[in-house]
Amino acid sequence: MNTEPRVPIDLDAYLCRIGYRGDLNPSAATLRALHLAYAMHVPFENLDVLLGLPIKLDLESLQAKLVRSRRGGYCFEQNTLFAAVLEQIGFVVTRLAARVRLGTTRVLPRTHMLLNVEADDQIWLADVGFGGWGLLEPMLLVAGTEVRQGVWKFRLRRDSDQWILQTAHQGQWQDQYAFTLEPQLDVDYLPANHYCSTHPDSRFVQTLTAQLPSASVRYLLRNREFIVIQPEGERSESIESEEKLLRVLAQHFALCFPPGTRFGPTRIGSAEPDKRLIPSQ
């Protein structure tokens, strides 16, 4: 539970944004349905960072951006909003922090936000903010059980006091992130959000990305490469112009920007060796 005062969520507008018309009782079935609808309608993206705009985490700003302007965002935005929605419906939510492992061999700071949610007397891991490799639905906080969501497979494993979320990719289990169950407050995310959105070493400052999963395909945009991932394989397409970039954002991520929009910095478009594994944090 968070102790800070909450701005009410416009639930009607929010549910319209994610295309949800189902039940709102605080049950596991409702949690799964809300999570799935959100994951497949609201893309992970960092475009405001590359437009030089601040990333605000107050609920009024998040509703204005993600709901009314039909944009996406990264984990602090997505999971802050989702947590507030769940709490308004009646779920008990604990905010957590994780170290991303996907696409890196280094130990990274805790720059990912995720949620524990109580439903039907069980604890669920919920996370709508990890992008194309993330969960479609919440999963029980149980180690060792393989969970299938659409065509994708996930599992949790334990390492001392840490939990590690893994996904199966090309026949191998890959760590996505590691977390503990220590509760976090809104204020705990402010330093990480500032680093992610402003520091020159942050991948969100260096790299344009938009990501969106579905039950059978994952769409990933990284700089000038558009990647479509399915269980049987991957295909990629180079983006030769800014105009085509705007078309890809609109067509595959429902992110619409005025003609002539340009995203900085100048490093966008530079090649890097790990293009297939696109870290979300």
Residues belonging to the active site:
75, 112, 127
Q: What is the DSSP letter of 216?
A: S
Which H or E element spans position 162?
strand 162-169
| CA separation, residue 117 to residues 94, 95, 168 (Å) | 6, 9, 24
With a CB cutoff of 8 Å and minimum separation 6, the contacts of 67 are 10, 13, 14, 17, 81
Q: 3-class SS at 190?
A: helix
Which amino acid, residue 214?
Answer: S
Measured between alpha carbons, how far is 229 from 151 in angstroms, rounded to an integer? 11
First to last CA, the chain: 24
Q: Yes or no: say if 86 and 117 are a contact pair by the CB < 8 Å rule.
A: yes
Listing DSSP states for 26-63 in one string gives SSHHHHHHHHHHHHHHS-EE-HHHHTT-----SHHHHI
Structure-token match 């696409």, residue found: 103
